[in-house]
A and B are shown apart, each in its own frame.
Chain A
Amino acid sequence: MEKRFMTGNEAIAEAAVQAGCRYFFGYPITPQSELPEYLARRLPEVGGCFLQAESEIAAIYMVFGAAGAGARVLTSSSSPGISLKQEGISYIAGAWLPCVIVNIMRGGPGLGGIQPSQSDYFQATKGGGHGDYRLVVLAPSTVQEAVNLTMEAFDLADKYRTPVMILGDGYLGQMMEPVEFKKRKQQSLPPKDWTLTGAKGRPRRIIKTLYLQPEILEQRNLTLNRRYQEIIKDEIRAETYLTEDAEVIIAAFGTVARIAKSAIRILREKGIKAGLVRPITLFPFPYQTFAQISDKIKKILVVEMNLGQMVEDVKLGVCGKAEVFFYGRTGGMVPSYDEIVVEVEKIVKEP
């Protein structure tokens, strides 16, 4: 198949179209604006609808509506815009609706800057909006993986009736790499027997999130939780790289994991056996991978483009069986492989 040379933003957009997404609602923000720009041109070609809303908040409720009507629907933004969408995301989760949300993260808090960051890890994996809900969070580290995971995200959303987030950083959105769009195998998905399509000839359906009787709301939340448990059982994904003989492990996701791979190659030339664990799903998090690896490897360095977020989940996985160290850059600064090499050398020397 002919490879195409695309930015991560454009590639995610095309992947969504090829996954059957025909609706996009969003509002521009750097560093993800190429994504809506691409879809503004592309969606009309396939009979879809691209709409630039008056705000992020309007956009996420348009997503709510389209999802309720049974459509495959996408929105994308970057950190401050994703914060604005949180109320709607909580409603979509509470209404058991599927959709895909892309966050191409930039430095925060507040408006922050436009350079790459991973500082929305907590927001993406631990809630974001209010209420007892989760998002499935997928963290690609190459443009090709962004394509594959975007296609998969729509299936996961439909399978579990949940919003799915693609969490990338500014570099993933801006970077160009060759990509292939392989047709995804048709998945067997549950019928959408809950959509609002006009009740003529059938009993009416209601999509809502307001349940004033706590007994009923509790049952709904328990149902949601059962889905999350299924997701935890079946959907965890992580990559391991050179962990077999490793004496020290680096844990990183997204672009940082690639930088860490370069650091590992340098470290190995210097005789330090380093390996990598790269969570691909941030929720569900691969706790078990870290639990197993810390049975034999006693030093783990977590590297992030933030001041320490995923490191908390790594510690939960490790559960005291190994020492967990942290190195991070923030505000749009990107850790270099040289910096990571220095950090690993430091912790290896420690008794």
Chain B
Amino acid sequence: MKESIKKPFYTDVLMAGFGGQGLMFIGKLLAFTAMKEKKNVTWIPSYGPEMRGGKANCTVVISDEEIASPVITSPHALIMMNNPSLEAFESMLKSGGVLIWNASLITKQIKRKNITAIPVRANELAAQVGGEKAANMVMLGAYIAYTGVLAKEAVVKALKEFLGAKKSHFFSVNVRAFEKGMECVANIR
């Protein structure tokens, strides 16, 4: 996003999907990476009684300044994984903002006109690199490529640390999915 490159740096993004689609994970990863890059950052989840299947969303704020509200009414960007999420959050997106939507699962028409909508066939692209469950990382890749909020290398480095030794076997498929998402946006542009 052009406007987010202004000094001091500030951006925010809301991401949503079904519980289990890994939206909380990529939100935390994004925030963790930004922290490693010396930014101020907040990550705030929707929290509900259900562990999987229910609606899940989180909001990440990244800034050079002290972060005031971690709760965002009109985010600069949306990452939407499914129809119910799109329905719930499309109207909140800031004018001129970017909507990254999962074209593998979303069948609804995008209604907003004054925004940039980027379709990403996240589930297919993730399956191509050997892990359909990494569709979340495809979406994150698309977001990073489009916004340039953080460098690719920074995300990959942070991912390694974030997964830790216990989950290190997920590292390479996640990186491949992330790269696939980045390529997908490069192709659109």
Q: Report the bound CA distance from A31 to B47 in whole Å.
A: 8
Q: Is A258 an interface residue (CB 8 A)?
A: yes
Chain A CB count within 10 A is highest, among B31, B32, B67, B69, for: B69
Q: Which residues of A contact B41 (CB under 8 A)?
A: 177-178
Q: Mark A238-271, 1 if CB is under 8 A from B, else 0.
A: 0000000000000000010011011111000000
Are B32 and A171 within 8 A (Cβ)? Answer: no
Partner of A337, one of B35, B44, B49, B73: B73
Min CB gap B35→A, angstroms: 4
Min CB gap B39→A, angstroms: 9
Are B47 and A259 within 8 A (Cβ)? Answer: no
Q: Report the bound CA distance from A336 to B59 in whole Å.
A: 14
Q: Which residues of A contact B1 (CB under 8 A)?
A: none
Are A174 and B68 within 8 A (Cβ)? Answer: no
Q: Is B176 an interface residue (CB 8 A)?
A: no
Q: Which residues of A contact B35 (CB under 8 A)?
A: 3, 5, 178
Are B68 and A171 within 8 A (Cβ)? Answer: no
Q: Which residues of A contact B45 (CB under 8 A)?
A: 174-175
Question: Which residues of B31-82 have CB atoms within 8 Å of chain A's CB atoms?
Answer: 31-32, 35, 40-45, 47-49, 67-71, 73-74
Q: Which residues of B contact A176 (CB under 8 A)?
A: 28, 31, 42-44
What is the chain B residue whose CB lies nearest that of A3? Answer: B35
Are A258 and B44 within 8 A (Cβ)? Answer: no
Q: Is A334 an interface residue (CB 8 A)?
A: yes
Are A175 and B44 within 8 A (Cβ)? Answer: yes
Q: Which residues of A contact B74 (CB under 8 A)?
A: 338
Q: Mark A303-336, 1 if CB is under 8 A from B, else 0.
A: 0000000000000000000000000000000101
Q: Mark B14-31, 1 if CB is under 8 A from A, else 0.
A: 000000000000001001
Are B49 and A114 within 8 A (Cβ)? Answer: yes
Are A255 and B47 within 8 A (Cβ)? Answer: no
Are B69 and A262 within 8 A (Cβ)? Answer: yes
Q: Report the bound CA distance from A337 to B45 in whole Å.
A: 18
Q: Report the bound CA distance from A176 to B60 in whole Å.
A: 10
Question: Which residues of B128-172 have CB atoms within 8 Å of chain A's CB atoms?
Answer: none
Min CB gap B2→A, angstroms: 19
Q: Which residues of B contact A258 (CB under 8 A)?
A: 67-70
Are A259 and B68 within 8 A (Cβ)? Answer: yes
Partner of B49, one of A5, A30, A175: A30
Q: Report the bound CA distance from A261 to B67 in whole Å.
A: 9
Q: Which residues of A contact B67 (CB under 8 A)?
A: 258
Q: Report the bound CA distance from A337 to B61 in whole Å.
A: 15
Are B73 and A177 within 8 A (Cβ)? Answer: no
Q: Report the bound CA distance from A191 to B41 in whole Å.
A: 41
Are A5 and B32 within 8 A (Cβ)? Answer: yes
Min CB gap A344→B, angstroms: 15
Q: Report the bound CA distance from A338 to B49 in whole Å.
A: 28
Partner of B68, one of A5, A261, A334, A336: A261
Q: Which residues of A contact B48 (CB under 8 A)?
A: 114
Given contacts A114-B49, A174-B45, A177-B42, contact A337 B69 (CB under 8 A): yes
Q: Report the bound CA distance from A308 to B35 in whole Å.
A: 36
Are A175 and B42 within 8 A (Cβ)? Answer: yes
Given contacts A5-B35, A114-B49, A176-B28, contact A171 B44 (CB under 8 A): yes
Min CB gap B37→A, angstroms: 11
Q: Is A94 an interface residue (CB 8 A)?
A: no
Are B31 and A5 within 8 A (Cβ)? Answer: yes
Q: Report the bound CA distance from A258 to B69 in whole Å.
A: 5
Are A334 and B47 within 8 A (Cβ)? Answer: no
Q: Is A68 an interface residue (CB 8 A)?
A: no
Are A175 and B73 within 8 A (Cβ)? Answer: no
Are A174 and B73 within 8 A (Cβ)? Answer: no
Q: Report the bound CA distance from A259 to B31 in whole Å.
A: 19
Q: Is A170 an interface residue (CB 8 A)?
A: yes
Are A177 and B68 within 8 A (Cβ)? Answer: no
What is the chain A residue whose CB lies nearest that of B43? Answer: A176
Closest 3 A/B residue pairs (Cβ): A261-B68, A262-B69, A262-B68
- Given A5-B32, A175-B43: 14 more A-B contacts, CB < 8 Å: A5-B31, A5-B35, A5-B43, A171-B44, A175-B44, A176-B28, A177-B41, A177-B42, A178-B40, A258-B67, A259-B69, A259-B71, A337-B73, A338-B73
Give me the interface of A with B, judged by CB distance under 8 Å: 3, 5, 30-31, 114, 170-171, 174-178, 255, 258-259, 261-265, 334, 336-338
Sampled A-B contacts (9; CB under 8 Å): A30-B49, A171-B71, A176-B44, A178-B41, A255-B70, A261-B69, A262-B68, A265-B68, A337-B69
